[in-house]
């Protein structure tokens, strides 16, 4: 078993699935010879050839549209959009076609497509390279939105996403692409989609988060533990559809909920989670729900980016507020 980073786990998952399913192919800008700007597809073109790892021209809408056409013919494209801030030209194809084709043909044509894209900031990137706009995509019927929080989760969830018969937007938290190494058994074992993962059990407050913010949230839980507060940390993992049961069960035990996400607060995924708990778990709550999120501002450039994203201190303060 090898110790790998999150981005290496992504490569391993591609490699496994391409080795075992001849219909899986990779396309995107710079994914072939260059192995992707983050090296997520490193070595794949060498191994599988340029018919299965395709360097495309530069047009995100084109990449998504090609995926629709290929998938309708039974291929399983895994496309890389280089940064989430560049995904908007692809939205037309995602919203109008990729997620609708199964429904509008009554299952005659389907779109088993994965669109992978880096997610969030924190690595001193240029403008438009630090976006976390998952809520825009969670509103789209027919689309799954998935975000791993560790190498093992990245490996298992990406395999599941590629095997899913419907489109999946796979968000890769850049901040933790190389944050830590973890032992990942390269055995082709997928992890289930549509469920949350409890990263740390606790009794006083539930923290729901995803992606890179799981790291901050776990650090906050450590700090809270030192202060005598037991926080449960839940990794949402599949951001849409939300696994309401796991969250509601946890809140029923802890009575308190803090939602942490990097994205802006207004109509963020946190609002949906809060609404679910308000609809189905209001009487379990002993304190108002707290949200720790990016501000409703444009993601600032590098010098302010750490003031934008939720910090350990902000998460700790929010949890303490639910207990005060």
Position among 6, 25, 31, 231 found at the interface with another protein (CB under 8 A): 25
Catalytic position from the list 14, 97, 119, 129: 129
Would you count residue 15 as binding another protein (CB under 8 A)?
Answer: no
Would you count residue 107 as binding another protein (CB under 8 A)?
Answer: yes
Catalytic (active site) residue 129:
yes
Q: Which two tokens stand for residue 27?
A: 């396309």
User: Measured between alpha carbons, how far is 151 from 8 in angstroms, rounded to an integer?
Assistant: 8
Would you count residue 166 as binding another protein (CB under 8 A)?
Answer: yes
Pairing state between β 238-240 and 144-146: antiparallel
Q: In this chain, which stretch among 88-96, 213-221, 252-260, 310-318 interacts with another protein, using CB under 8 A?
A: 88-96
Q: How far is the CB of 108 from another protein (least distance, A)?
A: 5
Would you count residue 103 as binding another protein (CB under 8 A)?
Answer: yes
Helix 269-280 and helix 244-254: axis angle, to 10°?
Answer: 60
* Nearer Cβ to another protein (141/228): 141
Helix 6-20 and helix 151-163: axis angle, to 10°?
Answer: 30
Q: Does residue 281 have a cis bond before it (omega within 30 degrees)? A: no
Contact (CB, 8 A) for 258 and 247:
no
Contact (CB, 8 A) for 174 and 118:
yes
Q: How far is the CB of 139 from another protein (least distance, A)?
A: 13
Residue 2 Ramachandran class (φ > 0 left, ψ -120 to 50 alpha, else beta):
beta
Position among 37, 109, 271, 287 found at the interface with another protein (CB under 8 A): 109
* Nearer Cβ to another protein (12/63): 63
* Nearer Cβ to another protein (107/126): 107
Which residues on adjacent β-strands are paired with residue 170?
A: 116, 146
Which residues on adjacent β-strands are paired with residue 24?
A: 76
Q: Which residues bind another protein (CB under 8 A)?
A: 25, 51-52, 54, 56-57, 59, 61-62, 64-75, 92-93, 96-97, 101-110, 141-142, 164-166, 194, 241-242, 244-245
- Catalytic sites, residue numbers: 129
């Amino acid at each position: 078993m090898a110790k790998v980073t999150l981005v290496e786990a992504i490569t391993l998952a591609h490699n496994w699935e391409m080795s075992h399913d001849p219909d899986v192919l990779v396309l995107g800008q710079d994914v072939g010879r260059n192995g992707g700007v983050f090296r997520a597809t490193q070595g794949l073109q060498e191994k599988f050839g340029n018919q299965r790892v395709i360097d495309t021209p530069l047009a995100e809408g084109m990449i998504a549209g090609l995926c629709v056409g290929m998938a309708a013919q039974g291929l399983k494209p895994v496309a890389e959009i280089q940064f989430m801030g560049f995904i908007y030209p692809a939205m037309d194809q995602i919203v109008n076609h990729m997620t609708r084709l199964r429904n509008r043909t009554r299952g005659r044509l389907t779109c088993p497509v994965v669109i992978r894209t880096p997610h969030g900031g924190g690595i001193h990137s240029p403008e438009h390279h630090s976006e976390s706009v998952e809520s825009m995509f969670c509103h789209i019927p027919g689309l799954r939105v998935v975000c791993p929080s560790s190498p093992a989760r990245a490996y298992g969830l990406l395999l599941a996403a590629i095997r899913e018969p419907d489109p999946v937007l796979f968000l890769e938290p850049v901040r933790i692409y190389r944050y830590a190494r973890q032992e990942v058994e390269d055995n082709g074992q997928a992890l289930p989609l549509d469920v949350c993962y409890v990263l740390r059990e606790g009794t006083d407050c539930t923290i729901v988060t995803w992606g890179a913010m799981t790291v901050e949230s776990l650090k906050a839980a450590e700090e809270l533990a030192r202060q005598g507060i037991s926080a449960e940390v839940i990794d949402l993992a599949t951001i849409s559809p939300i696994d309401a049961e796991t969250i509601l069960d946890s809140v029923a035990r802890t009575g308190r909920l803090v939602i942490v996400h990097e994205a802006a607060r207004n109509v963020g995924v946190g609002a949906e989670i809060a609404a679910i708990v308000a609809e189905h778990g209001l009487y379990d709550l002993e304190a108002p729900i707290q949200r720790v999120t990016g501000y409703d501002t444009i993601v600032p450039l590098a010098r302010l980016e750490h003031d934008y994203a939720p910090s350990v201190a902000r998460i700790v303060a929010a949890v303490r507020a639910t207990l005060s």
